[in-house]
Amino acid sequence: MEQDDTVGSIADRARAPLETVLGERPTMEHVLLVLFLVVGVYMYQGASEFAPDAQTFPRLMAGGTAVLAFLLLARNHLTVVAPLVGAGLGAYLAYDGATTFLADGGGLVSLVAGVGLLVAVVGFRERFGEAVESFVAEPMQVMGDKETTEAPTADETEREEPPADEADPEAAADQTSSDEESESAAMYVYEIDDPKGPVVTGLLCVGYMLLTFTIGMLYATPIFVIAWTLWVRMNVIRAVALTVLSFVTAYLFYDLIQDDIAEGWLTGWELPAPDDLLGLWIHAGDLLQWGVMLG
């Protein structure tokens, strides 16, 4: 018992400064957000090894992931943190755009975006902080039915529930069955203290990175999406559509911007590209047709 009390006391002392910084009790959600922040910063720096024309998209995605993860971690202090982050991001974009514009005439979009962000932060600091807080901190249900996630108010409950002597047992049973079906059809959700959801999501992200380093991002992307849709028990049609969309996006990036994403960065292993596979299928079809004609 004394050992348990000692462990609990140590955990409380370690948790206290985190609660002060975060403004709330730390949970597995914060661990997952820290993982996103670290991965986003790492991928942003790693994209600098790409060709200049190929850096924009991955750095935009990685930078956006890192910034949003940081804002979510600081969601209880957004009225102060958001203007600071906006000012820093605006200054960076303005400086990067200005240096690029002076060097080769490019970077105009970055320059305009940075100046506009600085103007918004400086001129409308309070509104900017409130807008970011509304966007980041307010809960929302992604790909779900808002009506099924909101609990009814006390007045609505009193208005909807009939008196005990007028209640219909069959109607109550049907309502319970309908609610159970609605819950079973929804995607996986977890309580804030449940480590299962964040841990599995974090493991999927780590697996995605390992696959990227092994077989390349082109095929690792749809594999990751398939694994995630299976985990959250997404509707089959939505899962297929999301997987196809992810693969098409990766292929467009491969075909138009950087074909190195089809190669494992650590192993050098490169699976056949989709156009090569299509050529093989066409060639095999021609051979089969010739075989039928000769036979």
DSSP string covering 254-274, please?
HHHT-GGGGB-TTT--BPPPH
- pTM beyond cutoff 0.85: no
| 248 part of a folded domain | yes
Residue corresponding to tokens 């092994």: 214
- Residue 176's pLDDT is what? 54
| 96 part of a folded domain | no
Torsion from C-alpha of 283, 286, 290, 295, nearest 10 degrees = 90
Which tokens belong to 206?
A: 């780590």
- Residue 277's pLDDT is what? 67
pLDDT in tens, 203-256: 888 888 888 888 888 889 999 999 989 988 888 998 999 999 989 888 888 877
Structural domain total, the chain: 1
**293/295 Cα distance (integer angstroms):** 5
| 110 part of a folded domain | no
Question: Could you tell me if 225 and 248 are in contact, meaning their C-beta atoms sit under 8 angstroms apart?
Answer: no
Displacement of CA 106 from its chain's centroid (Å): 30
| 30 part of a folded domain | no
- Residue 103's pLDDT is what? 83
- Residue 27's pLDDT is what? 78
| 46 part of a folded domain | no
| 221 part of a folded domain | yes
| 82 part of a folded domain | no
**For residue 144, what is the DSSP state?**
S
Q: How many residues does the structure list for the chain?
A: 295
Which residues in the chain land under pLDDT 50?
A: 7, 140-151, 153-154, 156-157, 164-165, 167, 177, 180-186
- Residue 91's pLDDT is what? 92
| 261 part of a folded domain | yes
Q: How far is CA 284 from CA 56, 69, 99, 272, in A?
A: 38, 48, 53, 15
In a 13 Å sphere around the CA of 4, the CA atoms on its Cβ side amount to 1
- Residue 140's pLDDT is what? 47
SS (H, E, C) 220-259: HHHHHHHHHHHHCCCCHHHHHHHHHHHHHHHHHHHHHCCH
What residues does 30 pair with on adjacent strands?
none
- Residue 170's pLDDT is what? 56
Give Rg (Cα) of the chain: 26
Q: How many helices (H) and strands (E) does the chain have?
A: 13, 0
Core vs surface per residue 196-220: b (16+ CB within 10 A) or e: ebbebbbeebeebbebbeebbbbbb
- Residue 278's pLDDT is what? 65
Q: How far is CA 181 from CA 105, 157, 161, 169, in A?
A: 59, 21, 20, 18
- Residue 185's pLDDT is what? 44
Residues of the domain holding 263: 194-295
Q: How far is CA 7 from CA 2, 14, 18, 24, 28, in A?
A: 9, 11, 17, 21, 19
